[in-house]
Chain A
């Protein structure tokens, strides 16, 4: 049997993996602040004491597309979107610092400022605690100011400033929980004073639905070609077996 069977088998398997990557992008087409993942195939030639005719394909994620998603106006005072480049620093469940673009903020019963998925937003020194307040405003530079309960409207007080960072996009990657982290060996990103927030807006997902769907359909056709080669290899070996039959 020709070993081409295994090459087309691995090709079919890898195109299924690539489809999973694209269907994950498509599933997150409405997720606030989602960044879509690239998927690419790389040829992996087999080296050895033979004629170099075998090259397997391998799917990999070379990176994440950090382009900005659309800004959707919500009008809610605690919804913030980042205008241009930058990230909001949050505390991941394991206590480490991670970055996100999903700015649907809320306060919990202890007044800790959290994202919609419950992660504490980091300020100048750890999580931000907001005192009971009549009104709360997030400024364009991340400064949080409140009118404390029972105070007149001119008693506005600055509480903290959301930690906004802008690390180089080749020093960060998407972690296993979907949050962005600095790659191994790099220090946590420093505060960048130039990152600008747009209060009252949320950033949508930057997934291009048409692109993802087209990619999935084209991979489906490639898959069929791989299967075709598999059945051809099967027919070839059948023919060879027939020739060798002693009738």
Chain B
């Protein structure tokens, strides 16, 4: 049929993917610890219809030939781990990572996942858990009759039990860093899982070895830039319209030839 049909089809589906990425970013504009994604476009292979340098006669050759591209594809979506802005919440169990590093969360299947979302709560045992009830790793249990919880910038958790005069240290929160955070697999619920591409987790004390400090009473908001996303949406929509115009043009050409021959 008409080759331009298939080329503009790749254009349409790539713009579709880009719009999905944009709408997911906008949907998560208020999600704590969310990292925006960007669709990476790449042109597809080129076909040689006529070889450049091919001989047209014994002593003349094609100067340029004809190589035609076959369209575009979305190679992948790249998560952008820029820092979101820190919002003060005054909640003692809200932790923001100021800089590099991820908090660790123990999943029910026994594996560790990673998050930048530091909105923690206590469950009935006094364990520090996420909003989904998954415990923080390393596990920290707050004793009964605690009047205040303090989390230091290096992750030291201390509590003051009613009747005591001095606070007691009940644990240390560690964070992990990856050489390539973009390679982490997002599994939803604000959690990430390590992959072959992210590299191994390197655990450390917050504030040391390039890891960011922990800030109690703050959360990291989403790093989605609303204006940027809306502008991307405009360009995506117009590119989509133009590619669909090519589809209808190719369709009309085919219709024309079948009606007139």
**Residue interface mask B192-227, A partner, CB < 8 A = 1:** 000011110010000011100000000000000000
Q: Is B78 in contact with chain A by the CB < 8 A criterion?
A: yes
Q: Is A147 in contact with chain B by the CB < 8 A criterion?
A: yes
Q: Is A54 in contact with chain B by the CB < 8 A criterion?
A: no
Chain B residue numbers with a CB within 8 Å of A75 are: 82
By Cβ-Cβ distance, the 4 closest A-B pairs, closest first, are A27-B11, A134-B210, A24-B69, A109-B199
Hey, which bits of chain B sit against chain A, CB under 8 A?
2-4, 7-8, 10-11, 14-15, 18, 38, 40-50, 52-53, 62-72, 75-76, 78, 80, 82, 99-100, 177-180, 182-183, 196-199, 202, 208-210, 235-236, 238-239, 242-243, 245-246, 249-250, 252-253, 256-257, 260-261
How far does the alpha carbon of A135 sit from the alpha carbon of B209 in the complex, in Å?
Answer: 11
Name the residue of chain B whose CB is nearest to the CB of A213.
B242
How far does the alpha carbon of A230 sit from the alpha carbon of B210 in the complex, in Å?
Answer: 73
For the A-B complex with A16-B253, A150-B208, A209-B242 known, give 18 more contacts whose Cβ atoms are closer than 8 Å. A16-B2, A23-B4, A23-B250, A24-B69, A26-B11, A26-B242, A28-B69, A30-B235, A34-B41, A60-B64, A61-B66, A104-B38, A110-B179, A116-B76, A134-B210, A174-B46, A223-B253, A230-B261
A29-79 contacts to B, CB under 8 A, are 29-32, 34, 37, 58-63, 75-76
**Range, interface on chain A:** 35 or more
Rounded to whole Å, the gap between the CB of B47 and the closest CB of chain A is 8
A216-B4 contact in complex given A29-B242, A106-B182, C-beta closer than 8 Å: yes
Name the residue of chain A whose CB is nearest to the CB of B18.
A30
How far does the alpha carbon of A147 sit from the alpha carbon of B180 in the complex, in Å?
Answer: 16
B249 touches A217 (CB 8 A): yes
How far does the alpha carbon of A118 sit from the alpha carbon of B40 in the complex, in Å?
Answer: 11
Which of B40, B208, B252 counts the most chain A CB atoms within 10 A?
A: B40
How far does the alpha carbon of A173 sit from the alpha carbon of B67 in the complex, in Å?
Answer: 11
Rounded to whole Å, the gap between the CB of B141 and the closest CB of chain A is 31
Q: Is A12 in contact with chain B by the CB < 8 A criterion?
A: yes
Name the residue of chain B whose CB is nearest to the CB of A210.
B242
How far does the alpha carbon of A230 sit from the alpha carbon of B145 in the complex, in Å?
Answer: 93
B78 touches A61 (CB 8 A): no
Residue of A34, A62, A220 touching B63 (CB-CB under 8 A): A62
How far does the alpha carbon of A117 sit from the alpha carbon of B76 in the complex, in Å?
Answer: 8
Chain B residue numbers with a CB within 8 Å of A133 are: 210
How far does the alpha carbon of A148 sit from the alpha carbon of B210 in the complex, in Å?
Answer: 8
Chain B residue numbers with a CB within 8 Å of A220 are: 249-250, 252-253
How far does the alpha carbon of A28 sit from the alpha carbon of B64 in the complex, in Å?
Answer: 22
Q: Is A158 in contact with chain B by the CB < 8 A criterion?
A: no
A174 touches B67 (CB 8 A): yes
A32-B180 contact in complex given A23-B246, A230-B261, C-beta closer than 8 Å: no
Chain B residue numbers with a CB within 8 Å of A150 are: 208-210
Q: List 10 A-B contacts (CB under 8 A).
A: A17-B49, A19-B4, A26-B8, A28-B71, A30-B239, A104-B38, A104-B78, A109-B179, A175-B46, A228-B260
Number of CB contacts from chain A to chain B under 8 A? 202
Name the residue of chain A whose CB is nearest to the CB of B228.
A74
How far does the alpha carbon of A76 sit from the alpha carbon of B82 in the complex, in Å?
Answer: 7
A97-127 contacts to B, CB under 8 A, are 102, 104, 106-111, 116-118
Chain A residue numbers with a CB within 8 Å of B177 are: 132, 149
Residue of B4, B183, B253 touching A224 (CB-CB under 8 A): B253
Rounded to whole Å, the gap between the CB of A219 and the closest CB of chain B is 9
Chain A residue numbers with a CB within 8 Å of B2 are: 16, 19
Chain A residue numbers with a CB within 8 Å of B180 are: 106-109, 111
How far does the alpha carbon of A224 sit from the alpha carbon of B183 in the complex, in Å?
Answer: 50
Rounded to whole Å, the gap between the CB of A198 and the closest CB of chain B is 18
Rounded to whole Å, the gap between the CB of A153 and the closest CB of chain B is 10
A63-B64 contact in complex given A27-B72, A216-B249, C-beta closer than 8 Å: yes
Rounded to whole Å, the gap between the CB of B133 and the closest CB of chain A is 31
Rounded to whole Å, the gap between the CB of A21 and the closest CB of chain B is 5
A227 touches B68 (CB 8 A): no
A31-B72 contact in complex given A26-B246, A132-B179, C-beta closer than 8 Å: yes
Rounded to whole Å, the gap between the CB of B224 and the closest CB of chain A is 13
How far does the alpha carbon of A20 sit from the alpha carbon of B75 in the complex, in Å?
Answer: 21
Name the residue of chain A whose CB is nearest to the CB of B82.
A76
How far does the alpha carbon of A178 sit from the alpha carbon of B69 in the complex, in Å?
Answer: 8
Which of A17, A24, A102, A217 counts the most chain B CB atoms within 10 A?
A: A24
Name the residue of chain A whose CB is nearest to the CB of B198.
A109
B197 touches A108 (CB 8 A): yes
